[in-house]
Amino acid sequence: MVTLQTVAFAVLCLVAVLRVGSARSNPHARMSWLASVVGALALLTLGSVIPLGVLDGALGGTNLIYLVQNLLATTAFWLVLQAAASQESEDTPHSRRRYWVLGVILVAFSVAFLFIDRGPTSPTFIHDNVDQLAAVLCASIYLAGIGGISLQLMLAVRRRRLVAYWPFVVGGALAIVACINEIVWLFIAHAHAVDARTQALGYALFDPFFYLGVILIVAGILSFTVRKWNRETQMTLAIRQLSRITQRAGLTSATAEDGPATGGPQLSVAYDLLISIHDETVAGRVQLTARERRVLSRAEALVTRELGMAEAR
Amino acid sequence: MTESMWKGGHDIADRCARIFEDNGLGGPRNMEELVTRVSNISGKPVMIEPLGDERWETITALWVSYPASDLVLVRATDTHLYRTHCILHELAHIIYRHPGCSDLASAEVVQSLISDGATVRGRVVNPQAVRVASERSETIEGEAENLARLLGRSLLRPRYAAGEKSFG
Ligand SMILES: [Zn+2]
């Protein structure tokens, strides 16, 4: 399924480009941004964009590209997990154990890979060599790693609002199904338990599950980017409109001095403007026009939506 | 330019920032959690009731301090956001342990609420009243308003703040 791989690659590239700005300005966003870059590179190694012969040829034409692909894909999944998990333990120091887990997975399938007697470049390298236990183990360790990380990702977001985090849950589940399916069929092939047609059908299940899972997880990430942009755009507009009211009415907006603001400066500015306008209206110093009242209630709805609604840490 | 209703300045801002910090007021994520925190600070339960209406005129909220509890009254006719801010203003008085205000105790809407030993303070948005108020009273109101704005900012976190931080 070249198309799904290409779509996933395109989506990851798009996300990486769109989020360059926030990765630069917000250190917390870097993990997930890096995940999209590494993930895009991993998909690039599949050969759907640049021919596999070219890529693997550059590495000596002995399917070393397969190892590179596994290293990149595992790291990308792990980075997404770190981004999601860092929300959970915002105040606790970064756990070293996490790096160990990644390291163990990477080393384990790399060692197995070295034991494979590899032929010339092949897009179905593992399937070609399924008679070798090393090949089956290399792929299985890699897939078990991805599946395990996906499971941890699902667990990391389990207490969050499903309405926003469902793509991570469903995407993670699809990836797990894909990985388990592939491991099972690798062992079936190794044992020559079924005919070639059934075997091919079993293998064919991997791509739709896995790449739809990847696309969903990336869409989940992107949904937060879009959500933030959307709110910030609306807030900028609301602040401009509210300021027009206070200017028209000749108000000095009483804003608290720069204090511990957690909701971003925009929400604070809008909040202060709204309260001042209300105060002046109650005091009878300002009469709002019908249009201004509409602007006020629209802006107020935007701010009220974020009041006391933050997700649990 | 219209004169600001609330006294400001660096002294007040600094005091508010310190009180905010010292009492861990950035912790609560919603009004419920904040009220619990405030009542831990004051050692008395805090009750909030939307009781008043437009007949209160320029009184947007009242704080009645009974010996064993604190009662915050706001106007049911105001919007959710404005009401929230007015509650925060009264909670700020409680956190500050501000004294009651004798001027307001004589107001008609207030009298029925006061029993023995209760003191009262109101959030009055009346420029005239501010001008005749004493310097001390102006400072008290400025402090409460400033702290209320810090509290408001603290409650104003994007709904998916954590998600936006990692994935935004
Ligand atoms: Zn007050």
A58 and A127 both lie in a single domain: yes
Q: Contact B30/A300, CB-based, under 8 Å? A: no
pLDDT tens for A218-272 read: 999 999 999 888 988 999 999 999 999 988 888 765 454 444 444 568 888 999 9
Q: What is the pLDDT tens value at each position of chain B, 168 positions in all? A: 567 788 888 899 999 999 999 999 999 989 999 999 999 999 999 999 988 777 788 889 999 999 999 999 999 999 999 999 999 999 999 999 998 887 666 666 677 777 777 888 889 887 666 556 678 888 999 999 999 999 999 998 888 888 888 888
Give ipTM to 2 decimals.
0.92
State the CATH number of the domain containing residue B70. 1.10.10
State the CATH number of the domain containing residue A208. 1.20.1070
Q: What's the domain count of chain A?
A: 2
- B3, closest residue in chain A (CA to CA): A252
A120 and A180 both lie in a single domain: yes
A252 and A123 both lie in a single domain: no
Question: Is the residue at B137 inside a domain?
Answer: yes
A223 and A290 both lie in a single domain: no
Among the candidates A169, A197, A229, a domain finishes at A229
A251 and A206 both lie in a single domain: no
Question: Is the residue at B162 inside a domain?
Answer: no
Q: Contact A259/B153, CB-based, under 8 Å? A: yes
A208 and A305 both lie in a single domain: no
A247 and A154 both lie in a single domain: no
Cα of B89 vs centre of ligand 1, distance in Å, is 6
Collect all residues of chain B within an 8 Å Cβ-Cβ radius of residue A239. none
Q: Contact A283/B16, CB-based, under 8 Å? A: no
Question: Is the residue at B160 inside a domain?
Answer: no
B1 closest CB neighbour out of A250, A271, A310: A250
B8 closest CB neighbour out of A83, A254, A278: A254
Q: What confidence score (pLDDT) does residue B134 get?
A: 79
Q: Contact A262/B157, CB-based, under 8 Å? A: yes
Question: Is the residue at B161 inside a domain?
Answer: no
Q: Contact A220/B167, CB-based, under 8 Å? A: yes
User: What residues make up the domain containing B136?
Assistant: 10-152
Order of strands, sheet of B46-52, starting from the edge strand that comes earlier in the sequence: B46-52, B70-75, B59-65, B119-124
Chains A, B: CB pairs < 8 Å: 186
Higher pLDDT, A88 or A112: A112
Q: What's the domain count of chain B?
A: 1
B29 closest CB neighbour out of A221, A275, A308: A308
Among the candidates A229, A245, A278, a domain finishes at A229
Among the candidates A229, A245, A260, a domain finishes at A229
User: What residues make up the domain containing A255?
Assistant: 230-312
A224 and A305 both lie in a single domain: no
A196 and A68 both lie in a single domain: yes
A158 and A288 both lie in a single domain: no
CA dihedral over A203, A204, A207, A213, signed as positive or negative: negative
pTM above 0.95, yes or no: no
A44 and A72 both lie in a single domain: yes
Q: What confidence score (pLDDT) does residue A260 get?
A: 43
Question: Is the residue at B158 inside a domain?
Answer: no
Question: Is the residue at B165 inside a domain?
Answer: no
